[in-house]
Structure 1
Amino acid sequence: MINEPAELDPSSPEPIELAPALLERMAAVRAAALHTLEAGEPVYGVNTGMGNLSKVRLSEAGQRVHQRNLLLGRAVGGPPWLAPDESRAVLIGRLKTFLTGDSAVSVGLIQQLVALINSDYTPAVPAEGAGSAGEIIPLAHAAGPLVGIGWLLAPARGDSGGAGDSGGAGSAGGLRPAGGLLPAFELGPKEGIALLAGTPGAAGRAALAAAKVRRLADRLTDVAAGAIAVVGANRDPYEPAAARGDDVLAAEFARLRELAGPEPEPRSLQAPVSFRVAGHVNAHVRRTLQQLDDAVDRAFTGVSDSPAYLDGDFVGTAGFHGIDLAAYCDHLTTALAHAAEVSTARLHRLLDPTVTGLTAQLAREPGPQAGLVAVHKRAVATTHQLRRLTLPTAISTAETSNGQEDVQTFSWEAVGNLAEAIRLTRKTTACELLAVRQAFALSGRAIPPGLQDLVRAVDAVVPPIDVDRPFGEDLTRLLAEVI
């Protein structure tokens, strides 16, 4: 039972039920807002046109159809569609902002939104092409099914893409028209523009991405510790004293030391840099993740509606700008790209007998067998893809709406880049993990206690590597079951 907006988690797949007291508060706000509208003062998008047409006052008849028309005329997107878990996160993000009261929408619309979230279907929301100051295009697609407009993604068979590697947006079981899924609903005053306002989609998707990065960050640490342990790397770089003044780094050092286990006689005074910097790299991922978490919290607790109903009046705001979300999504994308590059470098070193003391390319019989050399090549190609995602998104602006909108942040695109960065970083992590497991198998080293659960999870889906085989199948299983 949800009592406050903060209790809603865009990454949770659980059904949503709102407490009666919360709905009563929303009903009171709605009644007050309707009373304010009775004065007849111009309110943007309610009794006026939108954008460059905001100077046009709407007749009573025009107002009755305007709110639905707002959704119709702005649904200009198309495939590829968001994966179901991301589409659901957009809806929950919209619900969280409605429950602040700033949108002053009816309890009926809130309940219609909850019914859509709790259904087996999600809206077909375009993954690309927001192109505006805010998110009106993708939000028009997300909100359309509330009033029988647009398309729905049918339930996927199997994983929805929340933790696995679905291979792209919109991996559901197909499309169906939105009409008929929910009871008929007519939008009232202010409700169409409220559905299109702010950045709830980027915020919801960012919250979902943050949950995925938290899991991925733990795997980055696990795999780096495995590489450190299997090559017998000198543990000096992870000493507590070396993290002075940085609690995040100190915690990462502690995790690496615990997972990698007791230090054997080091093979060399210094391991390659990609091993020595593992703590700093992973700590940076966790630190930037916290910055994105904070930006998401600000997006959901701040004022993002426009016009927002504040202190008994409708106020035009700029809460749709989304620079906070865009910047920290970009920051985390870059942190993941760097982590993937370092992981790929360690993987290359794991193939080198001078670093590991093992056979070349981790092959059982080098020469007749190539070992894992092509696995490293796949990781190299993946990091190349990642580098192309690291260009900041909020540095390109263009005028739209006849100059009414002359600046954008492209936060929708920024969170899309982050989702892709997560997908690709998981791939490089799987490549390194496969090499770590094979190195342990060839070395005969005991698996440190902290890594035994991880190794058992790998062994459950990847058979022992004694000869060359299509290692892509092993990586696919690791992505589905372990990473």
Structure 2
Amino acid sequence: MTPEVDLAAPLRIADLLAARDPIRVTAGAAVRDRVGAARAFLSKVLGDDRAVYGSTTGFGALVGYAGRADLRDQADNTLAHLGAGHGPDIDPHVARATLLVRAWSLARGASGVSPHVIDALVAMLGTTFVPAMPRYGSVGASGDLIPLGAAAQALRGRGHAYVLGERMPAAEALRSAGLEPLPLDGRDALALVNGTSLTTAAAALALACTRAAHRAVQRLTGLLADLLGSDPQFLDERLLRAFGHPGAIAVGAAMRGFTAGLTPSGQRPLQEPYSLRCSPQLLGAAEDALRYADGVVAADLGGVSDNPLFFPGDDAVVHGGNFFGQPAAFAADVLSMVVAQVGNLAERQLDLLVDPHRNNGLPPMLAAGPGQQHGLQGVQLAATALIAEIRRDAMPASMQSLPTNLHNQDVIPLGNQAALRALDQARLLRLIVGSLAVGLRQAVYVGARPPTAPGSREVLDALTAAVPPIDPDRPLEDDVRRAADAVEELER
């Protein structure tokens, strides 16, 4: 069944996740009325000879100069100079989610956009068409100009796009998808590019991926404690309430649910290493940070990102900075920190699990026949490389402001760099989580005690169904992905 998104309803992260594939988007009478009213108001304003940025003026630092007289010609004036992006194309899923966010923002009726622009975005999202958008070139200060400019051009039949995963000239892609080239005037063109929809979409997808990994690590930590026979008092409700942090209290409650019935073996040290004993404090701090990101992403998904904005009821055209992606830049940098520390935790737990000096004497690297076989050795090496990659890229982007555009953009948020990087890192974190999950499944095969908690048994059963024992050695990259899938499925 094709997912449906109503542009009159609140936009959700689940809608962006569904946009990977064709979705049915509806723009009902309420949307059409407000979009049409704003468009009629724009015509009145221009007829009154009032100044409107991008319609009667040049762009950016050239705002003091008149734009082209023909509003249709002004679309070329808007978009041509933005064809300056570089690097690989943005992930097609992110590109499609971006245009869903843009459609929702334009559908609020504050952008003065032509109704047929909404219709074109709705039609596009119902196909496999994806504009080719360059990864590099935007500073996120006047919206995600260069990648969104490439998207607008692709919708016009210029540049490149994908259909059914195949990259081709955009005009050919439109024909293949059964779409018509999108006619634009200057206001339409500027409305398509002058917002932070790429930043918002990437941040939302990064948040979803990070939250899934965060929940998975809670379950896997409980399974690790159970297989080792740890004393679960590190999850004691009194202990965590005394700690005082809401995230730790919430995470501790969830982990107690996963580990209810865990019977300590009595053979472990009184206090486990921090990767177990301090897991509710670490994951709880991550929960508090993720709640901050939840709020920022929700506000971005529910807001209008454009300049200027049109308020027909007040007879007002308001020029300002609603294209400035600072909130998402901060939130995405927080996500990067969360990803790095949760990844550190999972990688250290894997290290504990494969070490015979700390794993209750299980074989080194959990190999079924040490020396003749090597078990988790390659998986651990890859997990170490993955966390090093995440940590290397964890420098906040939101603090890298520098002036550009003749000092018109004298401060910049770099939100799309922050958000795209956070999404990259979250996807790497998922692989570290899958690596730990493969290790836990193998630990039982080579002699770890069976889990005693029903929640732990549920996780192990899912992993056992998804991943065969490593005996003999085999390539494990697919097993890592399947294990990550199996743990995530427990949350659905």
Common fold: TM-score over 0.5 = yes
Relative to structure 1, is the Cα distance of residues 352 and 300 closer, same or farther in structure 2, using a 3 angstrom cutoff? closer
- Which residue identity lines up with residue 379 of structure 2 in the other structure? V
TM-score, scaled relative to structure 2: 0.89
Q: CA deviation at 1:94?
A: 0.6
SS at match of 1:393: coil
| Contact map agreement 2:214 2:342 (CA 8 A) in 1 | no
RMSD value over aligned CA atoms?
Answer: 2.1
Partner of 1:262: 262
For 1:177, which of 170, 173, 198 is the aligned residue?
Answer: 170
Tell whether 2:202 aligns with 1:205.
Answer: yes
Tell whether 2:473 aligns with 1:468.
Answer: yes
| Contact map agreement 1:46 1:67 (CA 8 A) in 2 | no
Partner of 1:12: 18
Equivalences for residues 362-381 of structure 1 within 5 A: 362-381=366-385
Equivalences for residues 12-411 of structure 1 within 5 A: 12-13=18-19, 14-61=23-70, 63-131=71-139, 133=141, 134-156=143-165, 173-178=166-171, 180-181=174-175, 182-244=179-241, 245-260=244-259, 261-266=261-266, 267-310=268-311, 311-357=314-360, 358-411=362-415
The count of residues paired between Structure 1 and Structure 2 equals: 466
Partner of 2:460: 455
| Contact map agreement 1:148 1:178 (CA 8 A) in 2 | yes
- Which residue identity lines up with residue 126 of structure 1 in the other structure? P
| Contact map agreement 1:132 1:400 (CA 8 A) in 2 | no
| Contact map agreement 2:42 2:112 (CA 8 A) in 1 | yes
Q: Distance in 2 between matches of 1:325 and 1:314?
A: 26
Q: CA deviation at 1:482?
A: 5.1
- Which residue identity lines up with residue 212 of structure 2 in the other structure? R
Q: Which structure 2 residue ranges, 5 or more long, are not aligned?
A: none
Relative to structure 1, is the Cα distance of residues 185 and 346 closer, same or farther in structure 2, using a 3 angstrom cutoff? closer
Which of structure 1's runs of 4+ aligned residues deviate more than 6 A?
A: none
- Which residue identity lines up with residue 89 of structure 2 in the other structure? W
Partner of 1:429: 433
Q: Distance in 2 between matches of 1:303 and 1:16?
A: 18
Partner of 1:169: none
Moved more, 363-372 or 38-47: 363-372
Q: Distance in 2 between matches of 1:480 and 1:247?
A: 28
Q: For 1:409-462, what per-residue CA distance to the aligned partner results, in whole angstroms no more than 9, with x for missing partners?
A: 110100111111111111111111111111122235233321344333322332
| Contact map agreement 2:222 2:258 (CA 8 A) in 1 | yes
SS at match of 1:314: strand
Q: CA deviation at 1:89?
A: 1.0
Q: CA deviation at 1:479?
A: 4.7
SS at match of 2:207: helix
Q: Which structure 1 residue ranges, 5 or more long, are not aligned?
A: 157-172
Q: Distance in 1 between matches of 2:155 and 2:410?
A: 30
- Which residue identity lines up with residue 117 of structure 2 in the other structure? L
Moved more, 211-220 or 1-10: 1-10
Q: CA deviation at 1:316?
A: 1.4
| Contact map agreement 1:5 1:99 (CA 8 A) in 2 | no
